[in-house]
Amino acid sequence: MSDIYAPSLLRRILTYTAWTVIAVVTYVAWNAIAAWSQKFFGFRNGDGNGSHYLFFSGSGSDLAYLSVFWGALVFYRKNNCHRALCWRLGHYDQLDPLTGITHKLCWRHHPAVKQRALKLHHIEAIHGRYLEHRRRRAS
């Protein structure tokens, strides 16, 4: 009768031993990782300075670089052409008459711009069409 229960007892002992080894290794590794991260991020208080000073004079000083990067990324995202997959900056506004939304478009996708930059006669022609449209609408 003891032969039937021997594998399950052995399995139980091996399982408890494995879990104990995993717990000890995790505890040791966690302490090593925690000590390294405290030193790297500047949170260890035994160095004679406060933890906030150590953080901002250590790895926290990189936050300024990240904020410049994210600021440039947000500026580009806000001011690029609203056509799909266009990487150019949108210098020209196009009003959608149905929705009333103003889209930023680059020189290639704006319907009134046929070359790289608007010239004076292009601006005068667009303004003339606008004045004619306004006169027709008023009368």
**Other CB atoms closer than 10 Å to residue 114's CB: what's the count?**
10
The overall average pLDDT reported for the chain is 81
- pLDDT score for 72: 94
Domain range summary for the chain, segments of one domain joined by +: 2-63, 80-138
Q: Which CA distances in Å does 94 have to 10, 12, 76, 119? A: 77, 73, 18, 17
Over residues 3-38, the pLDDT tens digits come to 555 567 788 888 899 999 999 999 888 888 888 887
Amino acid at 111: P
Query: Would you call 45 helix, strand, or coil by DSSP?
Result: helix
Ramachandran category for residue 42: left, alpha or beta (phi over 0 → left; psi -120 to 50 → alpha): left
Alpha-carbon distance of 56 to 49, in angstroms, equals: 12
The answer to whether 51 and 42 are in contact (CB under 8 A) is: yes
What is the mean predicted confidence (pLDDT) over 42-52? 66
pTM given for the model: 0.45
Q: What does DSSP assign to residue 13?
A: H
| Token pair belonging to 28 | 């040791």
- pLDDT score for 68: 92
